[in-house]
Structure 1
Amino acid sequence: MARLGREVRPVSYPRGEIRASDFRVVEVEVRPLRRGEVLVRNTWTSVDAALRLRLRERAPAGYFPAFPLDEPMDGIMTVGEVVESRADGFTSGDTVWHASGWRDYAVVEAERPALGGVGTLTKLDVRSAPPQAHLGPLGASGLTAYAGLFHVAGLREGDVVWVSAAAGAVGSLVVQLAKLGGHRVIGSAGSDDKVRHLVADLGVDAAFNHHDGPLPDLLREAAPDGIDVYFDNVGGDHLEAALGALRRAGRVVICGMVSEYGAQTPPPGPGNLMLAVTKGLTIRGFRGSDHTFLLPEMRRRMGSWLREGRLRHRETVVEGLAQAPAALAALLRGDNTGKTLVRIEDVPHRGNADH
């Protein structure tokens, strides 16, 4: 009896907000394994704002390629359990991560690099953290936060740090890592509930809802003496406000620009970029996948902080594979807090060889 699995496939590139009609769930026959491959039943799959960049006819130059229409969406981080293995080092029952998400079964080549190496098939230790944590603080989100703050930003003693989208998957980790480093930290978010979460749960020194007024004024109130580091997840007017607030020799670290992801026309860029010259600022973009060499160090340190209760993480969990597009739409609207995940329901082995 052949095994049947489901896949979420894009059928049209969204114009503006993502809609359910832009996707369909198809049932396919899972092919037999070849040597060097494993069959994984996916249990958790990631939902990331940057997926919106790949739901275009052409993804940004230098980024991961656009998702082809009516094809499975390769390149989405996922955790699952090995069902069958023909690859050395993997056995049935192993918990692994890989990059063939938004489906319930995946055939994965064990040694094939994915997502710049971050998504290469990897066995996980789930004794001290649940499997889905490896999609958040112990996975790509954690790597982006850790590498961006400790290796890209060039933190110095006494730095004041502002983090935008600070209640999201990456931002919520960045603010806590900066606090662990002894820095004054300002976080901004898009709702009063998220602001309360930043202050009460994550321990930021000041936080504001960016809808509450002009950004320069809100930032000035939170950091009257200016900032030294801006960790940018938003771009646009947030980047412009940061340039105005940064002190001399300040640094901007850009890991995302969610304000541009679904825009029909690109939002205007900062009108005060000359401040980068007059203040001697450093503006540097980066991707977590450029820092895979830090994965062992990051997982060791982040795992320790999680076990000690010094690092907290919240999850927005959506139930059911078919709801993955809706989860992405909600994330892009700002409805999530922390890491957005889809829990994939257990699908029984069904189908027949004549399918």
Structure 2
Amino acid sequence: MPAKEFAKIVVTWQQQHGRNDLPWQQHNDPYHVLVSELMLQQTQVTTVIPYFERWLQRFPDVTTLAAAEEQEVMAHWQGLGYYRRARNLHAAAKTIVADYAAQIPEQAVELREIPGIGPYTVGAIRSFAFNAPAAIVDGNVKRLFARLFMLPYAVNHSANDRYFWELAEHYTPTSQNRRFAQGLLDLGATICKPKQPLCHACPLQSRCRTYANACVEDYPKRKQKKAIPTKTGHFLLAINRFGVCLEQRPANGIWPSLWCLPEVSQAPDAELGYEFNHTFSHYKLAGKVWLAEPATTTGNLMQVPYSDLADYGLPAPIRKLLAKIDWDEVCNTKQ
């Protein structure tokens, strides 16, 4: 399919049927694009919208974000998960303020120098903020291309990424890039969905090879994943009427720099109070939470009042666990 024809189809469809009322689309502000794109990585649009709006209320521009303390940044990200994105965004803001006079640059060569901004985010900023030619490839685009061109490449194998980027670069037009990039994402997210794609509504149906061969459901190809192991983690819940003991985790490992219940290497001589499960990319965590007295805990701890918990960046399973606790009952029983 000629690149100009492809771009015209995508742009026309996006204008008529695509998503044009998302909050980060209203001003095409480079900072808004940066924030939204980091939030949208591995997170649904409907989930991101309220977080994006609250984020801009507290951090309305890159200068405000750069000046903020990490703990506050993490607290405002709390619930979105994948906290490395928050640290990347914070680091990017600091670099933009220090090296680019608080102005997010347009050129790809400069954007690539900013920590936390990878190839996709470079393309997104150039396309959405500056309406400049730039290829973008995410899971939606991969799936669309894999079905449209009947590609044999597994979309979850990084060694194959270059094939999808080459296609994206070939089909990226020299004009209307904001609408074209949004059109690719919209087609993948709302039409060429992972399950039960809406082929009848797809403007590319007549050019789609998998549709012509009645094998849409067989694509995209995926590399079979290995079964991930389960590991047990032991955590201490030390509470009294003054608050709960939290410990800031190290900068590396799981939940880096977040505040968490203190973790110990093995089950202590204590009562098992709660259990939780959480899945990381490489293993599943079976968490066991042991009831302990504040005086028996060790390490660099902070006793946080219950009313202040919202101000601390907590891992999602720990936040959910603490939300289940009846603090009034705790205050009455642990004097």
| TM-score of the pair, normalised by structure 1 | 0.22
Flag the structure with higher strand content: 1
Larger Rg: 2
Flag the structure with higher helix content: 2
| TM-score of the pair, normalised by structure 2 | 0.23
